[in-house]
């Protein structure tokens, strides 16, 4: 079992039950999945660069990404129908917890001029969204053998119905929110 998952089961569930007065353990919010998205708009013409981005994303997530395709052609953006425009990875279970642990304790502190993540990233339904400008903050990526720098969006999806229980859950997981 992952370290973060063990902490959730041992101390976070009890703390959330006490704070919000949940009578049943099944009412306690938990993280259901983590979705990582990366747009490849600047590399869409070069298939090798798209494959390199997919390879880097697979290293970061520990799982192969799925290519997302354009649904229709848009001449103003030079996008054709069924052209690769993004990559996405959905993590659940132990991979999800190991990615979150790596994100919180290794990657976010390596972000340049990092002062914490914005507490305004909640969507009103208990999910948190975070954008990273560079994927270089992850230790799996070596900066020396790098051609393409890309950003990504990380969505932490919880089963909480409101933002406040989800915010408290992420605070207990030591998510570095701005003060």
Phi-psi category of 54—alpha, beta or left, where left has phi over 0 and alpha has psi -120 to 50?
alpha
> Per residue in 62-98, pLDDT tens?
999 999 988 898 888 888 888 888 999 999 999 999 9
Structure tokens at 30: 């938990």
What are the pLDDT digits (tens) for 37-59?
Answer: 998 877 777 888 888 889 999 99
134-164 pLDDT per residue, tens: 888 888 887 766 777 888 999 999 999 999 9
Average pLDDT over all residues of the chain: 89
> Structure pTM?
0.89
- What superfamily does domain 3-172 belong to in CATH? Ribosomal protein L5 (3.30.1440.10)
Per-residue tokens: 175: 């998510």
Contacts of 98 (CB under 8 A, 6+ apart): 2, 4, 62
Interhelix angle 163-172/13-20, nearest 10 degrees: 140
């Amino acid at each position: 079992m992952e370290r973060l998952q063990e902490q959730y089961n041992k101390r976070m569930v009890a703390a959330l039950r006490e704070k919000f007065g949940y009578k049943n353990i099944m009412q306690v919010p938990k993280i259901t999945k983590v979705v990582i998205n990366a747009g490849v708009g600047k590399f869409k013409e070069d298939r090798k660069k798209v494959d390199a981005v997919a390879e880097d994303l697979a290293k970061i997530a520990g799982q192969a990404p799925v290519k997302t395709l354009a649904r229709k052609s848009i001449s103003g953006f030079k996008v054709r129908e069924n052209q690769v425009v993004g990559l996405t990875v959905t993590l659940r279970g132990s991979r999800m917890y190991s990615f979150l642990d790596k994100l919180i304790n290794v990657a976010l502190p390596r972000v340049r001029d990092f002062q914490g993540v914005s507490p305004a990233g909640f969507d009103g339904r208990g999910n948190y969204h975070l954008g990273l400008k560079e994927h270089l903050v992850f230790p799996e990526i070596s900066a020396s053998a790098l051609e393409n720098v890309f950003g990504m969006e990380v969505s932490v999806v919880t089963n909480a119905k409101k933002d406040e229980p989800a915010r408290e859950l992420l605070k207990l997981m030591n998510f570095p929110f701005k003060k």
